[in-house]
Structure formats: C-alpha cells, structure tokens
Amino acid sequence: MPFGNPHAADSLGNPLTLDDPASLALVDDFVMGFISTESRAVNLIALADTDASPIVQAYCATLHLFAESRDAVANARPYLAKARAGAARATPREQRYIAAVEAWADGDIARAISLHAEQAHEFPRDLVSVKLGQYHCFNTGDCPGMLRLALAVLPSAADVPYVHGMAAFGYEQCHLMREAEASARLAIAMCRKEPWAHHALAHVMLTEGRLAEGLAFMESVSDTWIGLNSFMVTHNWWHVALFLIDLGRDAEALAVYDEHAWGVVKDYSQDQIGAVSLLARLELAGIDVGARWKDVAGYLLQRQADHVLPFLDLQYLYGLARAGCSEADALLRNIEAFAPDAPPSTRAAWQRACVPAANGLVAHARGDFAGAIEGLGVALPRMIEIGGSHAQRDLFEQVYLDALVRTGSESTLAAAQGILQQQLNGQPESLRLRRQAGAVYARLGLGQLAAGVA
C-alpha cells in the first residue's frame, strides 16, 4: 500500500496522508503560515476533531506546545496519541515528524533536534520541521545547529524566501554578519513581506551599531506586518523600540510599547516576555514607565509554576519582582526546586545559569545591587545555554551593568567603565550608552572623558 494520498501534497511538495482531501487547504494554512510566521497557521485547529490523519494531529499538537504554558504538554498529548495510533499508515517523513514532536513533549530536546536534523537531510522541503528544529536549537543556545538546519535544506528549497530568512538568522546568531545580511536581503527581494528576514536584518544592524539605518529600515517595512502571529508582530516592533531607546527618542519608544509591543495577545508567553524586557530596558535607560509594570504583572501571575523554558521563567520573575508582587518569591522557590529535576537535555542550563540569574534578578528588582552582582556575575558566562538571541540576553547584561553602577564603589564603577566603553565603541550612535558612560566617567573623576562621550 503506498504511503499517503498520491493526489495530496502540501505547497512545498511534501506528500500527505489525509483522510479527507478537503483538509488540504487548512493543512497548507499551517505549513505556509508556520514558516511565514502568519496567524493563519492556527486555522488547522478546526480539523482537530474531524480529521484523524496522523500529520494533522501532529500539527495540532505542535500548535498546542507552542503555547509555552504549564498546560501545553497535557493539551498536546491527546493529539499526539492519535498521531501515534495512525503512524503506521503515514509517510516516513510524517512518522519522523510525529516522533520529533513526541520528543519535544517528553522534554527530550536533544532527540527532537536530532530527528529534525535527519529530516532536513532526507526530506529537505519539510520546512515546518526545519523551523521547529531551529526553534529548539535557539532555545538551547545552539546557534551553529540553527545554521546547519537551514543550510542543509537550502539547495533543495532555494525558491522559498522563508528559507533564506531562516538562514539569515542562523548566520547572525553565529556572528556571520555579512552572510546574514546577504541572506536577509535576498529573502526580502523575493518577498517583501518576510518578517523573519526583517527581524534578522534588524539584529545585524543593532549588533553593528547601525542604529539610525536599522530604525529607518524597520519602519520602511512595518506596513507589511499584518496577518502575523502575535509574537512576530510584537517582536519586530520590540526591535523598533530598541533602536528608538538607543537613539534617545524616549517618548516614541514608550509609544511603540503602548501601541504595538504590548496588548496584542496579553496571555501569550512571548508577548509577556517582550513586554517585560522592553519595560526593563526603558527603565534602565532612565525612562519613567509609570504604572505599566502592574498591568503586565497581572498576566504573569499564572506563570509561577510553568518552567517551560528557563529564558521565559527569568523574565516572568523579573516582571513580577519589579511590580512588587510577592508571587515573585513563589516563582523563585519553584525555579530552585525544579532545576535539579529538569529534563536531562536542559538541566545544566536550569541549574548553572537560571538559578543564579534568578536570584540576581530578584535582588536587582528589590534594590539589592550587591546580590544582583553576585547572582548575575555567576550566571552571565553561561547565559547562552538558556536560549534567546544576543539582543534578548543583553537585558541580563544591562541589569548587571546597572547594579555595578548603582553600587558605586571604585571597583564596581571601574568594571562598569570597561563594559560601557567597549559597548560604546561598537555603537557610537547610541545616546543611551553615551549618557551612561559619561555619568560613570564623571563619578570616576575623569570629567574630561565624560565631556568627550556625552
């Protein structure tokens, strides 16, 4: 018996085993929506109870797991059970995809990545698998792994603009800026509405200190950010806000937060951490955020026992602590209790990076700057292990730097000077860094240098 329906294939040419040929349109919504970060990917949920096709059920499980919530795995299990029950009649590609999503649900991220890597070599146009594999690599700090996945499929999928966007971000996270920019610009030339490529190019320009250029570019393509999932639209506006903060355009940065970065889907993990990290950066740049912490914290209360990703937990924790919520203590205790029993694939990241960082972040939020220096000083050298991008993890470095400055001893100010000057060397357009460096030079008795950088 042949695998799949010979007349059913997704838009990328991958054969599908579908019980109902009429399901193809919604399956394609998922496939193309997922790789283009469009909200239509969730349309597939309409088939959850009507089409028992193994790949449909596995894709539904994928959507549930992307909720990144405490209940996500339990919500995904029924769909994975249906997918596994029908796997014998699925194609080999579909079978491996089902196994990879099962590994994800089981917390075996190393196995999931391995299966996605196998899929990339054997079925290089399964771009859902590639993007999901990149997601796992990203969350475990495996930047070369992200790039390997994209480059493995590029020869067979060079006609798909989103592959070039995937490659661009992999290059950028590996600090290969010229390759990243070339790939991003190729993706955008093929499809102007390629928000992941916009995002990759924003990273390049931020990293290289091309702040005014980066802001102008992102604003020039922002009209295409329609029909996207909430993460993609809020995250690209988050990048706009970062450029505005560094360029000293404080009121505009606050307006981006209020109008674009917070409030799309307030219950969603990525929208929440985007809000937390942006509010923190605004405050660290000396901008008054008013009562905004309280609004975000109201949605973070549900996160006290999530532990889906350490990168997420740390930002939930800081948001609760900055809002003055006692629930921050419960989340901190829960992180410390969970870390020793975390899945083997991520246990070291929880124990060696997340726990000390968590203590440092709570200390900073409560004005204990020595405690912040202690906890974050231990964690920062290993923070790549918790995932997130360079730009996202910069939040933790900014908090550490702020603690050094606020402690104000000669030794901590000397350490702050070294960090700030190196950052300013790479970002000479940054008025934020100039202000911060000038203040530190003045306190170190180097007023002549303060005048030079301010």
9: pLDDT strictly greater than 60? yes
Give the model's pLDDT for residue 453.
Answer: 76
pLDDT tens per residue across span 341-361:
999 999 999 999 999 999 999
Token representation of residue 234: 């809020």
How confident is the model at residue 246, as a pLDDT?
A: 98
What pLDDT sits at residue 452? Answer: 75
pLDDT band at 451 (very low <50, low <70, confident <90, very high): confident
Average pLDDT, the chain: 96
Phi, psi of 265 (to 5 degrees): -135, 90
Which domains does the chain possess? 21-139 (1.25.40), 158-265 (1.25.40.10)
Q: What is the pLDDT of residues 207-250, one digit of tens each?
A: 999 999 999 999 999 999 999 999 999 999 999 999 999 999 99
Neighbours of 212 (CB within 10 A): 13
| Tokens read off for 159 | 């006609």
Q: DSSP of 65-133, one letter per residue?
A: HTT-STTHHHHHHHHHHHHHHTGGGS-HHHHHHHHHHHHHHTT-HHHHHHHHHHHHHH-TT-HHHHHHH
Paired with 15 in beta bridges are 9
Burial class (CB in 10 A: 0-12, 13-18, 19+), 302: middle
Q: How far is CA 322 from the centre of its chain?
A: 21
Task: Tell me what pLDDT residue 7 has.
Answer: 59
Q: Would residue 153 be called left, alpha or beta, if left means φ above 0 and alpha means ψ between -120 and 50 degrees?
A: alpha
CA dihedral 256, 261, 265, 270 (to 10 degrees): 180
pLDDT tens digit sequence for 270-324: 999 999 999 999 999 999 999 999 999 999 999 999 999 999 999 999 999 999 9
Q: Is 11 helix (H, G, I), strand (E, B) or coil?
A: coil
Query: Per-residue pLDDT tens for 154-210?
Result: 999 999 999 999 999 999 999 999 999 999 999 999 999 999 999 999 999 999 999
Rounded distance, CA 54 to CA 60, Å?
10
Condensed to tens digits (0 to 9), the pLDDT of residues 125-153 reads 999 999 999 999 999 999 999 999 999 99
Per-residue pLDDT band at 340 (split at 50, 70, 90): very high
Residues above pLDDT 90, as percent of the chain: 96
Dihedral Cα 232, 233, 235, 240, nearest 10 deg: 140
Residue 13 has pLDDT above 60, yes or no: yes
- In DSSP terms, which residues pair with 9 in a beta bridge? 15
Query: pLDDT at residue 1 above 60?
Result: no
